[in-house]
């Protein structure tokens, strides 16, 4: 197939690109095209071609909450760069491109004397992904700081969604996979530099103490109130269990670690075992937080 995006200015196209290079799991086969997009105009053209040719597509940020099939993805993966990684401030409102990293937001806001997003410290990924999955920690989530987002649909229509229209839920929103977040408006608050620094440092230290290092997609299962997924898995004696090179972390039960050569099939089989064991022992059916892309 001839590259359909070859004439678009403002994109870089990688054909038959291994997605293991673009996910925190370091797992996954090839995608037909990985398209790096640097401008709104280029994104519109890319989506228009995708719509006309009826090609499957998916947008990834840092690839931190996704498991890609060993067979890869038979469509187009979009990654946002350029204008999508910029940020502007007007008053207490931060206008962030969806491809902006969480770490960059925190450091930039701290430098300007603004806090309110410190709960995100240590969460890898981008603003767009954090909003779509309503990322959160320490009892807080994106829903509390997002005023609204600008999106573009699979029909290449741009619109704005307010906080209420996003319909935030636990680790989810009503924003569909075919809708691309272009930018977001975040409401932060004035805070002392030392207070911001201290909270970020404490949150990072907490994560380092409790969460494992290595290749993973973060928490694999959602918590089901009042239960904590990691505690349920630990109570079932599953920590350290492995399938192939995929292992349930010995440090945190809700992390599946790629020890270096794990396949998606290993992770899926391990997740299946976890769900069955927790259901049989605890009577609770766990639900995945990590998305499967195939």
Annotate 24-73 with DSSP letters as a single string: TT----EEEEEEEE-SHHHHHHHHHHHHHHT--EEE-SS--SEEE-TT-E
pLDDT at 177: 84
Task: Return the structure tokens found at 106.
Answer: 């925190």
Residues of the chain with pLDDT under 70: 1
Do 118 and 203 touch, CB atoms closer than 8 A?
yes
CATH classification of 213-293, choosing from 3.30.390.10, 3.40.50.10470, 3.40.50.280, 3.90.78.10?
A: 3.90.78.10
Q: How far is Cα 134 from Cα 214, in angstroms, rounded to an integer?
A: 24
Other beta carbons less than 10 A from residue 92's beta carbon: 12
Instruction: Tell me what percent of the chain is helix, strand and coil, each rounded to the nearest 5.
Output: 30, 30, 40
Domain ranges of the chain: 11-82, 86-209, 213-293
Cβ–Cβ under 8 Å, residues 276 and 283: no
- State the residue for tokens 């006309």: 52
Residue with tokens 């038959």: 16
The reported pLDDT for the residue numbered 77 is 98
**CB neighbours of residue 7 within 10 Å:** 9
CA distances from 44 to 2, 150, 228 (A): 20, 14, 41
Q: Which residues are designated catalytic? A: 171, 219, 289
Return the CATH architecture of domain 11-82: 2-Layer Sandwich (3.30)
What token pair was written down for 289?
């937080």
CB neighbours of residue 145 within 10 Å: 20
Phi, psi angle pair for 14, to nearest 5°: -115, 120
Q: Where are the alpha helices (DSSP H) in the chain?
A: 40-53, 102-111, 127-132, 163-166, 193-210, 229-235, 264-282
**pLDDT for position 1:** 65
Q: Rounded to an integer, what distance in angstroms lies between the CA atom of residue 40 and that of residue 106? A: 24
Edge-to-edge strand ranges of the sheet holding 180-187: 87-90, 93-97, 180-187, 146-152, 158-162
Q: Which strands sit side by side in the sheet containing 30-37, from one edge to the other?
A: 11-18, 30-37, 73-80, 57-59
CA 151, CA 142: separation in Å to the nearest integer? 17
User: CATH number for the 86-209 domain, one of 3.10.20.90, 3.40.190.10, 3.40.50.720, 3.30.465.10?
Assistant: 3.30.465.10
CB 22 within 8 A of CB 42: no
Under a CB-based contact definition with an 8 Å cutoff, are residues 102 and 126 in contact? Answer: yes
Q: Is the peptide bond before 140 cis (omega within 30 degrees of 0)?
A: no
Query: Could you tell me if 68 and 264 are in contact, meaning their C-beta atoms sit under 8 angstroms apart?
Result: yes
């Amino acid at each position: 197939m001839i590259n359909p995006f070859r004439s678009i200015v403002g994109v870089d196209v990688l054909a038959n690109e291994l997605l293991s290079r673009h996910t925190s799991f370091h797992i996954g086969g090839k995608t037909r095209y990985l398209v790096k997009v640097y401008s709104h105009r280029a994104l519109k053209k890319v989506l228009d071609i995708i719509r006309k040719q009826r090609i499957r597509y998916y947008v990834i940020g840092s690839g931190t909450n996704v498991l890609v099939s060993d067979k890869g993805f038979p469509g187009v993966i979009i990654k946002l760069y350029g204008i999508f990684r910029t940020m502007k401030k007007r008053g207490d409102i931060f206008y962030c491109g969806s491809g902006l990293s969480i770490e960059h937001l925190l450091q930039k806001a701290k430098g300007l004397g603004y806090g309110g997003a410190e709960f995100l410290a240590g969460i890898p990924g981008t603003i767009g992904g954090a909003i779509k999955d309503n990322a959160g920690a320490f009892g807080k989530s994106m829903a509390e700081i997002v005023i609204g987002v600008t999106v573009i649909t699979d029909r290449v229509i741009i619109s704005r969604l307010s906080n209420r229209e996003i319909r935030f839920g636990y680790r989810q929103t009503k924003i569909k996979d075919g809708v691309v977040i272009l930018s977001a408006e975040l409401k932060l608050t004035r805070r002392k530099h030392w207070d911001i620094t201290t909270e970020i440092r404490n949150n990072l230290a907490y994560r380092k103490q409790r969460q494992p290092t290595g290749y993973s997609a973060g928490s694999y299962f959602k918590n089901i109130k009042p239960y904590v997924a990691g505690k349920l898995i630990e109570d079932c004696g599953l920590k350290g269990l492995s399938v192939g090179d995929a292992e349930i972390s010995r440090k945190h039960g809700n992390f599946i670690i790629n020890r270096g050569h794990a396949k998606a099939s290993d992770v899926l089989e391990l997740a299946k075992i976890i769900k069955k064991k927790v259901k049989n022992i605890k009577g609770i059916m766990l639900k995945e937080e990590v998305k499967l892309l195939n």
